Chains A and B, each alone.
Chain A
Amino acid sequence: MILSTENIAALAYLLLAPLAGGLLAGLDRKITARMQGRIGPPILQPFYDLSKLFSKRLAPVNRLQVPLVASHFFFIVLTGVLFFEGSDILLIIFVLTLAEVFLVLAAYSTGSPYGSIGAERELILMMSYEPMIILTLVGLYEGAKSFNFYEIFASESPLILELPGIYLGLLCVLVMKMQKSPFDISTSHHAHQELVKGLTADLGGPALGLVELAHWYESVYLYAIVFLFFSSSPLMAVIGLAVTYFLVILIDNITARVKWQATLGIAWTLALVAGAGNLIPFYLITRGH
């Protein structure tokens, strides 16, 4: 059996994404600490945390919780594998939604008030970022005439110059997906939140470790989508990704958490104004030729 480039990329993702995602998380914590005038944990801290979590005893609240969390993990990884396998990005986004739903169900299953409110807010978050994700896909399609990661990558059109509004909207989605302020309403990396841990309040030990690991897998392909905007030159890709990564951390540190109404309002307004406002003229110009 001969492996194609896509197969190798998917396999590399499967093996290396936890490493990259963990390092991204570690660097994030270090930069955040420096912004707050602290020394901060070592870069490898997320790996210590994960190893610790998996060494704890599994104490599920009910029998449903762990299978649901495992399904969440499976579908997040599957999303990434499909993505790097070169599958249709539309399909990928639907698998991603399914993965999120499993996590929400896991939070609901225990009946804990913190978990339930966290789950409700996660649904609101999903409702907030879905329109912008769809607009991002439409934008990528309009720019590169494809729903395939590698074809968009190969199109060599400087998408960031053609779709700055879409990029802005995607940045907002990224902040939500990374559970960052001001949109960390369902759960947060910091415990000083009114819901304690919200969505993951009833998860401990290995189950929480699995959610964390899924988050690392997720962050890698989210940044891969960001990469598509800058893929026309390697230098631009590095700068673009670094600036995006830094912006997400900066936004986290300079904003306060908003209520769910504002989350929905900001996300949809941005999707409508920046997303559609970018897409409509772009569509008219490219179709006009």
Chain B
Amino acid sequence: MSAVERSIWIVHYDASSCNGCDIEVLACLTPVYDAERFGLILTGNPKQADLLLVTGSVNARNLPVLRQIYEQMPDPKAVVAIGACAYSGGVFSECYNVSGGVASAIPVDVYVPGCAAKPESILDGVLKAAAILAERRKALRGVSGGTLPEALREAEASR
């Protein structure tokens, strides 16, 4: 395991979740599941985060917020969509204001199933995303310069 995989700092955004998945995300951080043993830390700060956890469906109000958080995260970064709503909009998908899952706003790397998702599966999803992050760092390493690296675009295309 590389250092990137062992040190994942998370920013969690509640798009328009019913709070079910959010409670399960918080459960991951309690002593019972103790996410910190994998090096996971909840930062609450996109600039310091490696991983974006999104719960809930995307609507017109939270779409720009979600995009802004994503753009503020420095590369390499990854996104985990948690629960049925983050996948497709879930039970809210037919609502007039819901544009769909997280993928309708930003690229998603890992989907965690469930309504609400279990803490075990959230941790599993996060660790899967950690492996993706490590791949992305390797891709970034060979490239220098200020613009968005070609390798990153390749990584995006290979998703």
- A: which residues have CB within 8 A of B? 29, 33, 36-42, 45, 47-49, 51-52, 55-59, 191-192, 196-197, 201-205, 208
Check B47 against A204 for contact (C-beta < 8 Å): yes
CB < 8 Å neighbour of B36 from A33, A56, A58, A205? A33
- Tell me which residues across on chain A come within 8 A of B4, comparing CB atoms: 51-52, 55
Among A37, A42, A191, point to the contact of B43 (Cβ < 8 A).
Answer: A191
Cβ of B119 to closest chain A Cβ, rounded Å:
14
Once the chains are docked, how many angstroms separate the CA of A42 from the CA of B9? 15
Chain B residues contacting A57 (CB-CB under 8 Å) are 74-76, 140
Q: In this assembly, does B142 line the interface, its C-beta being within 8 Å of a C-beta of chain A?
A: no
Contact between B36 and A40, CB atoms less than 8 A apart: yes
The distance from the CB of A167 to the nearest CB of chain B, in whole angstroms, is: 32
Assuming the A-B contacts A45-B7, A55-B3, are A38 and B34 also in contact, with contact meaning beta carbons closer than 8 angstroms in the complex?
yes
17 contacts between A and B (CB under 8 A): A33-B36, A36-B31, A41-B39, A45-B7, A47-B3, A48-B3, A48-B7, A52-B4, A52-B7, A52-B9, A191-B41, A191-B42, A191-B44, A201-B47, A202-B47, A204-B48, A205-B47
Do A49 and B47 have beta carbons less than 8 Å apart? Answer: no
13 additional A-B residue pairs with CB within 8 Å, beyond A33-B34, A42-B39, A191-B41: A37-B31, A38-B31, A41-B37, A45-B7, A51-B4, A52-B3, A52-B6, A52-B9, A55-B3, A58-B74, A59-B47, A197-B44, A204-B74
9 A-B pairs with least C-beta separation = A204-B47, A51-B3, A52-B7, A48-B6, A38-B34, A48-B7, A48-B3, A49-B7, A59-B74
Residues of B in contact with A (beta carbons under 8 Å apart): 3-4, 6-7, 9, 31, 34, 36-39, 41-45, 47-48, 50, 74-76, 137, 140-141
The verdict on A51 contacting B7 (CB below 8 Å), with A57-B74, A205-B74 known, is yes
Q: How far is the CB of A13 from chain B (nearest CB, A)?
A: 25
**A-side contacts of B45, CB under 8 Å:** 191, 196-197, 201, 204
Q: A57-B75, A191-B42 are in contact. Are A52 and B50 (CB under 8 A)?
A: yes
Task: Report how far A27 CA is from B44 CA in the complex, Å.
Answer: 24
Contacts of B6 in A (CB 8 A): 42, 45, 48, 52
User: In angstroms, how far is the closest chain B Cβ from the Cβ of A137?
Assistant: 36
CA of A42 to CA of B75 in the docked complex: distance in angstroms?
25
Among A49, A59, A191, A197: residue with most chain B CB under 10 A: A191
Most chain B C-beta atoms within 10 Å of own C-beta, residue among A40, A41, A51: A41
